[in-house]
Amino acid sequence: MAAIATIFALIQPAFAQTKTIAALGDSLTQGYGLIQQEGFVDQLQAWLRARGHDVIIANAGVSGDTTAGGLSRVEWTLGPNIDGMIVALGGNDVLRGIAPETARTNLDGILQSARAKEVPVLLVGISAPGNYGPDYKSDFENIYPDLSTKYDTLLHPNFLSALMGREDLSGLMQQDGIHPNAQGVALVVEEIGPQVEALLERLD
């Protein structure tokens, strides 16, 4: 009996390895226009679990949120049970024409908070449109690789890159042309998923 108890004590931690990753983002993360099971967070969690990962993805997405909004709530997002974080913000900054330097400062503050709590991060960027000019586009898109290098995060340059360059997006996007539908989200998850797996490796 003592031997059995010893073996049980040794293997018990193996059943307590669930990792929790907070997905801090905007409507793309929150799952705007979709039922819960179809959204990014739920599809990502299902994709990871199907590949054998014991993980919870906590939905910290707020529709309409900017990088400033993310900065304002990062401290309570990084609660004691959070092991890692996906940061996917910036789309609403671009839609509002917010200066790249402002977005950079906000994202820098978010990553500072994660570093202070020793929480590994996957930073997810966005593709800025060209209607504000090439300098704005370049300055905004460069925020993500620059900060990823500064804070040694994992990086996925563009949340929607899995959908870019396709001739026909009608079957992958919602009617607003901004948010992917369930099928589009599935493609996004397939592309981002391996980098979330890499994030999980940093949590061990």
Question: What band does 10 get if pLDDT is binned at 50, 70 and 90?
Answer: very low
Chain segment 70-119, per-residue pLDDT in tens? 999 999 999 999 999 999 999 999 999 999 999 999 999 999 999 999 99
Residue 186 within a domain: yes
Residue 97 within a domain: yes
Residue 95 within a domain: yes
Chain segment 120-171, per-residue pLDDT in tens? 999 999 999 889 999 999 999 999 999 999 999 999 999 999 998 787 888 8
3-state secondary structure of 86: strand
Residue 142 within a domain: yes
Residue 1 within a domain: no
Residue 80 within a domain: yes
Read off the pLDDT of each residue in 43-58 and give the average, rounded to a whole number.
Answer: 97
Could you list the active site residues? 27, 176, 179
Higher-scoring residue by pLDDT: 7, 64: 64
Sheet architecture: strand order including 55-61? 55-61, 19-25, 84-88, 121-124, 154-156
Range of the domain at 178: 18-202
Residue 175 within a domain: yes
CATH number for the domain harbouring residue 50: 3.40.50.1110
Least confident of 31-45, 51-65, 167-181: 167-181
3-state secondary structure of 85: strand
Distance CA 41, CA 64 (A): 17
Domain count, the chain: 1
Distance CA 158, CA 176 (A): 19
Distance CA 95, CA 78 (A): 27
Residue 35 within a domain: yes
